């Protein structure tokens, strides 16, 4: 397996229940923040890439992980240009600009947060462009959307250490 050596970035729009982290439980929705993701899909006319409803079993099964304690709807994922978050966010904003009245309706009906999530994966200290222009900021202001940058930094040496480090039980005697 060859290490990924090129910095990439993707971005998407997220609607999530408001809530709080509870020790030993995880993120738990506040009152009036549970919503039906299918209702959001119908209202906005956009298919999500990821969604769940409060009470649905987590992807890894109901065992240890249990059920989701909050609702979430994620859409408008942008993967290109792969190292320019500004262009990705502009594409998201332009997809949602005519949906501002519907987004405001969602905020009136539910206690939810809106977020543009930018996920750069940095290799070899090569950072992607992170810049947000007036059009993005105006959309965020109009809808109460925040921008979250969820950064992953990798270097070749740490990747090689993970690749070649195996616990003792894997070695034959």
pLDDT recorded at residue 110: 95
43 φ/ψ angles, rounded to the nearest 5 degrees: -65, -45
pLDDT recorded at residue 61: 56
The answer to whether residue 101 sits within a structural domain is no
The answer to whether residue 97 sits within a structural domain is no
Range of the domain at 69: 8-81+108-170
- The structural domain count of the chain equals 1
pLDDT recorded at residue 55: 83
The residue behind tokens 């005519």 is 98
pLDDT recorded at residue 172: 43
CA distance 6 to 107: 38
pLDDT recorded at residue 169: 45
The answer to whether residue 103 sits within a structural domain is no
Name the packing angle between helices 134-143 and 85-96 (round to 10°): 50
pLDDT averaged over consecutive 10-residue blocks of the chain (173 residues)?
72 93 80 92 96 83 70 95 92 98 96 95 80 96 96 69 50 41
pTM, rounded to two decimals: 0.81
The answer to whether residue 73 sits within a structural domain is yes
CA distance 42 to 36: 10
**For residue 92, what are the contacts with CB-CB under 8 A and spacing of at least 6?**
11, 12, 13, 76, 78, 116
pLDDT recorded at residue 163: 52
39's enclosing H/E stretch is helix 37-44
């Amino acid at each position: 397996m060859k290490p990924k050596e090129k910095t990439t970035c993707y971005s998407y729009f997220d609607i999530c229940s408001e809530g709080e982290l509870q020790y030993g439980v995880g993120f738990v929705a506040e009152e009036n923040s549970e919503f039906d993701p299918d209702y959001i899909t119908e209202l906005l006319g956009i298919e999500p890439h990821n969604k769940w409803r409060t009470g649905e079993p987590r992807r890894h099964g109901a065992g240890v992980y249990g059920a989701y304690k909050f609702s979430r709807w994620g859409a408008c994922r942008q993967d290109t240009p792969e190292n320019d978050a500004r262009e990705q966010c502009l594409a998201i904003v332009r997809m949602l600009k005519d949906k501002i009245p519907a987004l405001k309706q969602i905020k009136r009906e539910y206690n939810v947060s809106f977020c543009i999530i930018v996920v750069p994966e940095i290799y070899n200290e090569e950072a992607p462009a992170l810049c947000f222009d007036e059009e993005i900021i105006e959309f965020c202001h109009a809808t109460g959307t925040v921008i979250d940058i969820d950064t992953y930094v990798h270097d070749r040496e740490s990747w090689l250490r993970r690749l070649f480090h195996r616990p003792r039980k894997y070695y034959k005697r």
